Chains A and B, each alone.
Chain A
Amino acid sequence: MSDSVIELDQVVRDYGSPPVRAVDHVSLSVARGEFVAVVGPSGSGKSSLLNIIGTLDRPTSGRTIIDGHDVDTMNDAALSALRAYRIGFVFQQFHLTDGVSALDTVADGLIYTGTPRAERRRRAVASLTRVGLAHRLDHQPHQLSGGERQRVAIARATVSDPTLLLADEPTGNLDQRSGASVLELLHELNTTGTTIVVITHDVRLAEQMPRRITIRDGRVVEDDQEAPA
Chain B
Amino acid sequence: MSRGNQTEIRQSRLLRSDVYRLGASGLKSRPTRVVLSALGIAIGIAAMIAVVGISTSSRAKLDAELASLGTNLLTVQPGTSITGQDTTLPVESTGKVGLIRGVSTAGAVATLPDVKVYRSRLIDADKSGGIVVQAADPHLLGLLDGTLRQGAWLTKATANYPTVVLGGIAADRLGIVSPGSQIWLGDTQFTVIGILDALPLAPDLDTSAFIGEAFATARFDWDGKPTIIFERSADAEVETVRTLLPRTVNPENPENVRVSRPSDALAAKNAADLAFTGLLVGLGSVALLVGGIGVANTMVISVLERRREIGLRRALGATQGHIRTQFLAEALLLSALGGLAGTVIGFGVIAMFAGTNGWPISVPPVVFAGGIGATMLIGAVAGLYPAIRASKTPPTAALNG
- Chain A residues proximal to chain B, CB less than 8 Å: 2-3, 32-33, 47, 50-51, 54, 56-57, 67-69, 76-78, 80-87, 89, 91-93, 95, 97-99, 108-109, 111-114, 116-117, 156, 160-163, 168, 193-194
Contact = CB atoms under 8 A, between A and B. Distances in A.
B322 interface: yes
Contact of B399 (A51, A69, A84, A98): A51
Contact of A84 (B5, B12, B29, B321): B12
A99 B399 CA distance: 22
Secondary structure class of chain B's binding surface, majority of residues: loop
Q: Which of A98, A112, A193 has the most CB of B within 10 A?
A: A112
A113 B12 contact: yes
Contact of A77 (B12, B398, B401): B12
Given A51-B399, A111-B14, A112-B322, A81 B317 contact: yes
A93 B11 contact: no
A81 B316 contact: no
Given A2-B6, A32-B3, A114-B15, A84 B398 contact: no
B320 A76 contact: yes
Contacts of B175: none
B308 to A, nearest CB: 6
Contacts of B309: 95, 97
12 contacts: A32-B3, A47-B400, A54-B315, A56-B314, A76-B320, A86-B4, A97-B309, A112-B318, A113-B317, A114-B14, A114-B15, A163-B4
Contacts of B400: 47
Given A111-B316, A113-B317, 7 more contacts: A32-B2, A47-B400, A56-B394, A84-B317, A95-B312, A95-B398, A112-B316
A92 B395 contact: no
A57 B1 contact: no
Nearest to A168: B399
A93 B401 contact: yes
B390 to A, nearest CB: 14
B125 interface: no
B15 A116 contact: yes
B319 A77 contact: yes
A203 B168 CA distance: 101
B401 A91 contact: yes
B320 to A, nearest CB: 5
A80 B29 contact: no
A85 to B, nearest CB: 5
A81 B321 CA distance: 12
Contacts of B313: 112
B9 interface: yes
B12 A92 contact: no
A83 B309 CA distance: 16
B14 to A, nearest CB: 6
B269 interface: no
A110 to B, nearest CB: 8
Interface of B: 1-6, 9-15, 17-18, 22, 29, 308-309, 311-322, 394-396, 398-401
A89 B13 contact: no
Nearest to A93: B401
B10 A51 contact: no
Contact of B13 (A51, A83, A112): A112
Contacts of A51: 396, 399
Contacts of A85: 9-10, 317
Contacts of A86: 4, 9
The 5 closest A-B pairs by CB, nearest first: A84-B317, A68-B6, A114-B13, A163-B4, A112-B317
A13 B190 CA distance: 107
Contacts of A47: 399-400
Given A80-B318, A112-B316, A3 B17 contact: no
A89 B316 CA distance: 8
A78 B9 contact: yes
Contacts of B3: 32, 161, 163, 193-194
A91 B399 contact: yes
A92 B312 CA distance: 12
A168 to B, nearest CB: 6
A112 B9 contact: no
A153 to B, nearest CB: 10
A57 B319 contact: no
B18 A117 contact: yes
Contact of B9 (A33, A76, A81, A117): A81
B32 to A, nearest CB: 15
Contacts of A50: 399
Contacts of A111: 14, 18, 22, 316
